Amino acid sequence: MLIFILRRLFQSVIVMLVVALIAFLIFRYVGDPIVSMAGVDTRLEDQELMRQRLGLNDPFYVQFWNFLTNALQGNFGISYRLQQPAMRLILDRLPATIELAVVSATLALVLGVLMGIFTALRARSFLSGVIMTLSLVGVSLPTFLIGIGLIYIFAVELQWLPSNGRGVTVQLGWWRTGFLTESGLRSLILPAITLSLFQMTLIMRLVRAEMMEVLRSDYIRFARARGLPDRVINFRHALKNTLVPVITITGLQLGSVIAFAIVTETVFQWPGVGSLFITSVQAVDVPVMATYLMMVGLVFVTINLVVDILYYLVDPRLRVQGKGR
């Protein structure tokens, strides 16, 4: 177990180094940082002085090393646009994105797994057909269209829910949460549904396919032959086996929910890192972009690590290798 985790950690570090390298290359070579920082009327000597002070004349590896050590201390440079540390900008916006991602991921997971099980067990029922057909809509409609559609129905026509922003938020330490006020929760509903819809249909279809596969397997037949009731077979034996591959895909999907909430955040004017990223791209705010890239990399690597450990816990075949044989 220890070796397993250590090996995975080691691989994670390598992945993060590669991500850092790419972030650094963007930071350093997409446009000249001095040109971005200095105004039109800065004298050439001053520009050269800035170059010296920022170490831009140092060899490549020295600069990369400095970038790395700064990054480890949370220092990604100053946003060109807002003149604030890029890291702080991201951290300010992060709670909004995480709250949105967690709610929609939970929604996707719970509903997706439940509907997946239902459609697998009652494959021929009318309701399954309806769910399967609707899920095609969920997979094929682009996120922004779903978002705009929901806004039109529930915010514009019915006027039940707010169409944008986070509503009233409460500051808890550095974390700004929308969970504690009614308007915050109401604001969360539409974007969360929008963001979760695609994942939900994906998880549902995956669970359904896996479950149907497992239900055909020998040990399920044998469980029936042992006279176990359907409830035990379906929810104890089949479900646990279904979840093994589902964990992997779901984990990766969760990563993309956090990382790529960009579209949803833009549609709903959600003050998260996604919308920050979009405005930064428009303003060529390279430090923020590089920081965002590092953050997304970290999210994916962490989730992958957690998924691997979960896998290890669920499947005993991975736990004890070579023993008893």
Residue with smaller CB distance to another protein, 195 or 239? 239
Angle in degrees, 0-180, between the axes of helices 126-140 and 182-215, rounded to the nearest 10 = 120
By CB under 8 A, is residue 235 in contact with another protein?
no
* Cα separation values, 59 from 37, 52, 56, 64, 288, Å: 21, 12, 8, 9, 24
Q: Candidates 39-47, 108-116, 135-143, 234-242 — which segment interacts with another protein by CB under 8 A?
A: 234-242
Render the burial of 86-114: b for 16+ CB within 10 Å, e for the rest: bbbbbbebbbbbbbbbebbbebbbebbbe
Contacts of residue 275, Cβ cutoff 8 Å, sequence gap at least 6: 93, 262, 265, 266, 269
Contact 269, 165 (CB under 8 A): yes
176 sits in which H/E element: strand 175-177
Binds another protein by CB under 8 A, chosen from 40, 44, 72, 320: 320
By CB under 8 A, is residue 228 in contact with another protein?
yes
Tell me how far apart the alpha carbons of residues 4 and 291 are, in angstroms, rounded to a whole number: 30
By CB under 8 A, is residue 225 in contact with another protein?
yes
* Cα separation values, 81 from 4, 86, 266, Å: 44, 10, 19
By CB under 8 A, is residue 1 in contact with another protein?
no
Q: Candidates 76-84, 85-93, 213-221, 297-305 — which segment interacts with another protein by CB under 8 A?
A: 213-221
Residue with smaller CB distance to another protein, 14 or 170? 14
Q: How many alpha carbons lie under 13 Å from residue 49 in its C-beta half-sphere?
A: 6
By CB under 8 A, is residue 282 in contact with another protein?
no
Least distance to another protein from the beta carbon of 212, Å?
A: 13
By CB under 8 A, is residue 244 in contact with another protein?
yes
Q: Which amino acid is at 280?
A: S
Binds another protein by CB under 8 A, chosen from 39, 59, 173, 322: 322
Count residues binding another protein (CB under 8 A).
Answer: 32
Query: Binding marks (x or -) toward another protein, 30..69, rule CB under 8 A?
Result: ----------------------------------------
By CB under 8 A, is residue 213 in contact with another protein?
no
Tell me how far apart the alpha carbons of residues 283 and 261 are, in angstroms, rounded to a whole number: 20
Residue with smaller CB distance to another protein, 114 or 232? 232
By CB under 8 A, is residue 247 in contact with another protein?
no
Of 89-128, which residues contact another protein (CB under 8 A)? none
By CB under 8 A, is residue 325 in contact with another protein?
yes
Binds another protein by CB under 8 A, chosen from 103, 190, 223, 289: 223
By CB under 8 A, is residue 6 in contact with another protein?
yes
Tell me how far apart the alpha carbons of residues 11 and 16 are, in angstroms, rounded to a whole number: 9
Tell me how far apart the alpha carbons of residues 211 and 308 are, in angstroms, rounded to a whole number: 21
Q: Which residues bind another protein (CB under 8 A)?
A: 3, 6-7, 10, 217-219, 221-230, 232, 237, 240-241, 244, 314-317, 320-325
